[in-house]
């Protein structure tokens, strides 16, 4: 039976999520990749153990993470039952619904029917009575926002989730959702969006500003731009890279010579700071208090340990931030 490291809280930084009472580790572990049926269960366990032993208390999932959809929740549920059960009250476990999950008209988007049914399935797969955060995974252009937010409110008030979150929302829609949830007195506390040096969408669509003004936290996924903001592609595309072996989320055309040149320049700056490119990229995401936590993915425990070095990374000077923008053409 796994026993957690007694010093697991000694070095981790915990940030308050917006104006809520909940604190999240500055680094959280996402189970989007490498927790599906095609991955090694023993490696999954070791990654979770490494994360928790180093103060990562937050594990993030979604109903459709796999492959196959649901398999990441299933495997994490096995780890919970076999090893983490004594530590449940020390963990923040989140899941989501909003993308295609099952056949027919009730397994996608944002209806009350789908969200409540999906969470019930997620709880069964993980063997849980509740999750700490339940997200609507993407905006639904067809379902009334009042219905989707009402479902989140019902889920929290039923005790199946402690907090509500929104993922992949823009600033204007988030503000409307926030008003509805505030009127319902539903504890909506967090937004989950892609944010990294290359992807500034939440700055451009108003989400970052709206979250700050509303007192809501932000947790960033894909902080390394699917691996582009690492040293992996400095010399082109390796034959064993995700571009070659998977191709669903990172495509060859995204790594043309112009982009690789930018990656090399950013890597040079990271080297001058005494950091890896990945560490600098993670530090950039959490450079201000708007971002509560950064979600890392990993394929092996050592990557988690390397990413945790972001806590020792130096703050950016104004000149460095401007140089990063200039390198990226922003």
Query: For every one of its 330 residues, what pLDDT tens digit does the chain have, with 9 covering 90 and above?
Result: 899 999 999 999 999 999 999 999 999 999 999 999 999 999 999 999 999 999 999 999 999 999 999 999 999 999 999 999 999 999 999 999 999 999 999 999 999 999 999 999 999 999 999 999 999 999 999 999 999 999 999 999 999 999 999 999 999 999 999 999 999 999 999 999 999 999 999 999 999 999 999 999 999 999 999 889 999 888 766 655 555 445 555 656 667 789 999 999 999 999 999 999 999 999 999 999 999 999 999 999 999 999 999 999 999 999 999 999 999 999
- pLDDT at residue 256 in the model: 77
200 vs 202: CA distance, rounded Å: 6
Residue 135 burial (C-beta neighbours within 10 Å; 0-12, 13-18, 19+): buried
**CATH superfamily ID and name for 14-328:** NADP-dependent oxidoreductase domain (3.20.20.100)
Strand pairing class (58-60; 27-30): parallel
Angle (deg, nearest 10), helices 171-183 and 207-214:
30
Partners of 190 in beta bridges:
165, 217
Token pair for 54: 């180093």
- Hey, where are the domains in the chain? 14-328
Residue 147 burial (C-beta neighbours within 10 Å; 0-12, 13-18, 19+): middle
Alpha-carbon separation of residue 124 from 102, 129, 255 (angstroms): 16, 8, 40
Q: What is the largest CA-CA distance in the chain?
A: 54
- pLDDT at residue 237 in the model: 64
- pLDDT at residue 247 in the model: 54
């Amino acid at each position: 039976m796994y026993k957690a490291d007694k010093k697991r809280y000694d070095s981790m930084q915990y940030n308050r999520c917006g104006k809520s009472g909940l604190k999240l580790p500055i680094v959280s572990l996402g189970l989007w990749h490498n927790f599906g049926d095609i991955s090694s269960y023993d490696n999954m366990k070791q990654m979770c153990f490494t994360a928790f032993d180093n103060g990562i208390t937050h594990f993030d999932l979604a109903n459709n993470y796999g492959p196959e959809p649901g398999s990441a929740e299933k495997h994490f549920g096995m780890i919970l039952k076999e090893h983490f059960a004594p530590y449940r009250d020390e963990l923040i476990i989140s899941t989501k619904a909003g993308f295609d999950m099952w056949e027919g008209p009730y397994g996608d988007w944002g209806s009350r029917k789908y969200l409540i049914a999906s969470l019930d399935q997620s709880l069964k797969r993980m063997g849980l009575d509740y999750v700490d955060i339940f997200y609507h995974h993407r905006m639904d252009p067809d379902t009334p926002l009042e219905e989707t937010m009402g479902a989140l409110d019902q889920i929290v008030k039923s005790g199946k989730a402690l907090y509500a979150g929104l993922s992949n929302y823009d600033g204007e829609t988030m503000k409307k959702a926030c008003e509805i949830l505030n009127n319902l007195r539903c504890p909506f506390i967090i937004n989950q969006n892609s944010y990294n040096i290359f992807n500034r969408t939440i700055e451009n669509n108003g989400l970052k500003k709206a979250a700050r003004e509303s007192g809501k936290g932000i947790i960033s996924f894909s902080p390394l731009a699917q691996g582009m903001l690492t040293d992996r592609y400095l010399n082109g595309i390796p034959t064993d890279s995700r571009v070659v072996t998977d191709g669903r989320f990172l495509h060859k055309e995204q790594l043309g010579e112009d982009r690789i040149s930018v990656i090399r320049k950013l890597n040079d700056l990271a080297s001058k700071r005494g950091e890896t490119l990945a560490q600098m990229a993670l530090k950039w995401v959490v450079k201000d208090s708007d971002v509560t936590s950064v979600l890392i993915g990993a394929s092996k425990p050592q990557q988690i340990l390397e990413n945790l070095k972001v806590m020792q990374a130096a703050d950016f000077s104004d000149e460095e931030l401007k140089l990063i923008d200039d390198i990226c053409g922003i």
